[in-house]
Amino acid sequence: MEKNFDLLVIGGGPGGYVCAIRAAQLGLKTACVESRGTLGGTCLNVGCIPSKSLLNSSELYHKAKKNFSDIGIETTGVKLNLEKLMANKNKSVQVLTKGVEYLFKKNKVTYIKGKGVLLSKNNVVVYDEEGKKISYNSKNIVIATGSTYTSIPGINIDEKDIASSTGALSLKKVPSKLVIIGGGYIGLEMGSVWSRLGSEVTVIEFLDHITPGMDREISKEFQKILNKQGIKFKLETKVVSVEKSKNGTQVNCINNKTGSKETLDCDKVLVSVGRKPYTEGLNLSKVGVKKDNKGRIEVNKKLQTSVSNIYAIGDVIKGPMLAHKAEEEGIAVAEILAGQAGHVNYDVIPGVIYTSPEVASVGNTEEQLKEKKIKYKIGKFPFLANSRAKVNNEAEGFVKILAEENSDRVLGVHIIGPHSGDMIAEMALAMEFGASAEDIARTCHAHPTHTEAIKEAALAVDKRPIHF
């Protein structure tokens, strides 16, 4: 097997594998080291992809049970087969991880199975499953080792009674009571899944609002909608301990404001209080790769670490822990190494929560614009006034466009509503091209589609919506 490469990527997640493919396309002799046994990283194996399978299946089940009869489709005996639902999820994951392996072969990327450890700035040793080690040399190295879950002091995740997102993707039984610690992306997506499948879900959030960082108006609406769906929230509440009891698990918490104590009984707990960069065992300090005080690898604008031929991308560096952000960085590094002008526009990274309705955003929130002292105009349009959303009985939510006061340039778009995860791409494109709200308002949008709500919100920036 070849032992010398132009580029060796450590980590085969969306950042690493995309970087490796692009580098190979550009003519670099490239290898990718992955220890999991399958490619695709957290996203494909135990993150974005399996959770989307469960979100889709649970939504269909819930609709068949609760909503079909409202529109004249009578069903009887709709039953959940959890084992089959999980098998369907596992099959999708398997097909997609194999797909990445195929893409490696097609692009002539060498796939090295095992755990990569840096020995020097040009040398990586890989330990395979049997502990055998093989040493590889590379002109350049990319660290793309991703992230892992965090917990709260004193709470041990055992993936049985107390689960991380990984455990919550593979429960054997629908819990009758599920307590979720942390009202962020993972908590709300997994909370939606298990609530639709029949669990009584309570989300405990430390702050006075869910989804920190999200435009506050959208976050409030989101909580209201989830609440209506049956998910309970305990805000401004701190979990102090989780104990096993005879009948299940007890979550002990304290209200931050009043100091009052409360114990919640449940049969499962999901801990979703954030993720941390995964750099364990890489030998970073020995080779001189520096980390910041949050444990993230420090990089410059070209994504170079403190060792100039070692780069880092994705969840191990600063920025949102999102697969598509990692992919963009992977492509940028590959292009920089091939002598091109690789670049990531961090101002235009969309974010989506795949609940029902979906929540999607790109660019600045209103709170960020206030903090930056930028004057702005707002255009909003509710899905209640969008004909397609209305006929589909999915008229909750709204589109909110924030445009710079004088130039009319779009600075941020926030959508809570049906298909917003797909619709946000149009707004990201508009922002990449420096569009004004007027540009969007004058673009013909097909009727009847949900996208007309975007056009109307853009018209509303200039106070001239047609349908509201």
Q: Under the rule (CB under 6 A), what is the footprint of ligand NAI?
A: 152, 181-187, 189, 204-207, 212, 238-239, 272-275, 320-322, 352-354
Residue of minimal Cβ distance to ligand NAI: 184
The SS3 call for residue 387 is helix
Min dist CB 464 to ligand NAI, Å, is 34
Min dist CB 181 to ligand NAI, Å, is 5
Min dist CB 158 to ligand NAI, Å, is 18
- Please report the beta strands in 11-114, taking only residues with DSSP state E, as ranges in sequence order: 30-34, 110-113
Taking each helix axis from N to C terminus, what angle separates 452-461 and 420-432, rounded to the nearest 10 degrees? 50
Min dist CB 192 to ligand NAI, Å, is 11
β-pair type (147-149, 200-204): unpaired
Nearest to 136 by CA among 41, 10, 305: 10
Nearest CB to ligand NAI, comparing residues 223 and 305: 223
Q: Please state, in angstroms and rounded to a whole number, the distance separating the CA atoms of residues 24 and 6.
A: 10
Cβ-Cβ contacts under 8 Å for 184 (sequence gap 6 or more): 210, 211, 212, 272, 273, 274
Q: Please state, in angstroms and rounded to a whole number, the distance separating the CA atoms of residues 355 and 258.
A: 31
Alpha helix stretches (DSSP H) within 108-240: 165-168, 185-196, 216-228
Among candidate residues 324, 343, 447, 467, the one labeled active-site is 447
Nearest CB to ligand NAI, comparing residues 198 and 274: 274
Cβ-Cβ contacts under 8 Å for 433 (sequence gap 6 or more): none
- Judge whether 120 and 307 are in contact, CB under 8 Å: no
Report DSSP letters for 183-209, one per residue. -SHHHHHHHHHHHHTT-EEEEE-SSSS
Q: Please state, in angstroms and rounded to a whole number, the distance separating the CA atoms of residues 333 and 339.
A: 10
Chain-centre distance for alpha carbon 378: 27
Min dist CB 240 to ligand NAI, Å, is 9
Min dist CB 360 to ligand NAI, Å, is 10
Min dist CB 33 to ligand NAI, Å, is 23
Nearest CB to ligand NAI, comparing residues 248 and 274: 274
Nearest CB to ligand NAI, comparing residues 355 and 364: 355
Report DSSP letters for 317-372, one per residue. SSS---HHHHHHHHHHHHHHHTTS-----TT---EEE-SSSEEEEEE--HHHHHHT
Nearest CB to ligand NAI, comparing residues 97 and 355: 355
Nearest CB to ligand NAI, comparing residues 272 and 436: 272
Q: Is 447 noted as a catalytic residue in this protein?
A: yes
> What would the two tokens of residue 267 be?
């049969």
Nearest CB to ligand NAI, comparing residues 18 and 334: 18
Residues with a known catalytic role? 447
